[in-house]
Amino acid sequence: MKFALTPLAAATMLVLVAVTPIAHAADDVWVLRFGAHVVAPKSDNGQLAGMRSSIDNDTKPTASIEYLFTPNLGAEVLVALPFQHDISLNGTRLASTKQLPPVIGVNYHFMPENTVSPFLGVGINFTHFYDSKGQGALSGSHITIDNSWGGALHAGLDVKINENWMFTADVRWINIESDVHLNGVKIGKAKVDPLAYGLSLAYRF
C-alpha cells in the first residue's frame, strides 16, 4: 500500500489541526446525512497491459456526519456501502472490483442562516479495493488493485426544510490512482479520479 501525501491532502491536515482548538468554544452542532451517490470514474482510465482501460459507474447509499465548529466551518466524514465497478480493456469487459472510498474533510458554508446555503470543502480520501476478479478471457486470473490515498474536493448546496431538516445536493472530485497486478505482475496504473455526485436528506441536531 502506498501513501502519497499530495499538497491538497497536506493542506487539509493543516486546516484540521488549525480548527481543532476552536471546537470547544462553539455550541455542539452536528449534521447527519443519508442519501445516495453515483461514483463516475473519468473517461480515460489509463493503460493496462498495453490496452486502454475504462471503468464503469456505480450508485450506492451513502452517509456522512459533520461537526460544525462555527456556523460556517465544519469537519465531515463520508462513508458508503461498497461500490462495484466493471473494468474493460479496449472495450471488452475483463474484470470487476469492489471499493470503499471514505473521505475526511472540512467544509465552509457560505450562508448558513439562509434557506439555500452553498458550501465548498477539501479533504483526504482512502480507497480500499478488494474482491477483484477476472472475467471472460481473464476468468480465473488473480487480480489485485493497490489501495489509494489522495486529495478530494467538495461542493454542494444545503436547502433548509425547517430548523432541523434539509436536503443536500453535492459533488466530490476524488483523486484515486492505483497500481493493478495480474497474477502478481504489475500491468499498469488505473487512473480512476471519479466524480461522486448525489442527494441526501440531512438532520441537524
Interval 132-163: pLDDT, tens: 999 999 999 999 999 999 999 999 999 999 99
43 domain-assigned = yes
pLDDT at position 34 is 98
pLDDT at position 92 is 95
Tell me the C-alpha distance between 153 and 205, whole Å: 25
* Nearest one of 131, 138, 146 to 95, comparing CA atoms: 138
pLDDT at position 28 is 83
Residue at grid coordinates 495480474: 182
pLDDT at position 24 is 46
Domain that residue 149 falls in: 7-19+28-204
pLDDT at position 9 is 47
Please report how many Cα atoms fall inside a 13 Å half-sphere around the Cα of residue 103, on the Cβ side.
Answer: 27
171 domain-assigned = yes
* Nearest one of 150, 155, 137 to 189, comparing CA atoms: 150
pLDDT under 70: residue ranges of the chain:
1-27
175 domain-assigned = yes
- Cα-based torsion angle of the residue sequence 41, 202, 169, 29 in order, rounded to the nearest 10 degrees: -100
1 domain-assigned = no
pLDDT at position 1 is 38
Residue at grid coordinates 497536506: 10
CATH, residue 129: 2.40.160.20
pTM of the complete model: 0.84
- The three cell numbers of residue 139 are 476468468
- The structural domain count of the chain equals 1
59 domain-assigned = yes
Query: What H or E segment, with its residue span, contains residue 63?
Result: strand 58-68
pLDDT at position 2 is 40
pLDDT at position 43 is 85
pLDDT at position 44 is 87
What pLDDT, in 10s, does the model give residues 22-42? 444 446 899 999 999 999 999
